[in-house]
Amino acid sequence: MYVRLHIVVQGYVQGVGFRYFVYHHATKLGLPGWVRNLFNGDVEIEAEGERSLLESFIEEVKVGPRSAHVKDLRIEWKTYENKYSAFEIL
């Protein structure tokens, strides 16, 4: 089943290569979407694809790169819209 995933990652996640980490894992899994820093220090992610692949992606995001400290993930499952052709860092 194809779905869309929206995540807000809280913790020490800016200035530590987090967006590049997310980009690497999303492209490795073939998931299109985007990642961006938010002004409050959080990182926002949206991706689409097979739910099982997105669940694997969530497990990677929970860990993050070595220098990051993920405190919490706010996860929202949405309707698949097929609106992305690739994964990008915004």
pLDDT tens for 42-76 read 999 999 999 999 999 999 999 999 999 999 999 99
pLDDT value, residue 39: 97
2-89 has CATH 3.30.70.100 classification:
yes
Read off the pLDDT of residues 6-16 as tens digits, 9 standing for 90 and up: 999 999 999 99
Whether the CB-CB separation of 13 and 56 falls below 8 Å is answered with no
Residues that are catalytic: 19, 37
pLDDT value, residue 13: 97
Whether the CB-CB separation of 68 and 12 falls below 8 Å is answered with yes
Whether the CB-CB separation of 65 and 13 falls below 8 Å is answered with no
Distance, in Å, from the CA atom of 4 to the CA atom of 51, rounded to the nearest integer, reads 8
Domain boundaries, the chain: 2-89
Read off the pLDDT of residues 25-34 as tens digits, 9 standing for 90 and up: 999 999 999 9
Integer CA distances (angstroms), 24 to 1, 72, 81, in order:
23, 21, 22
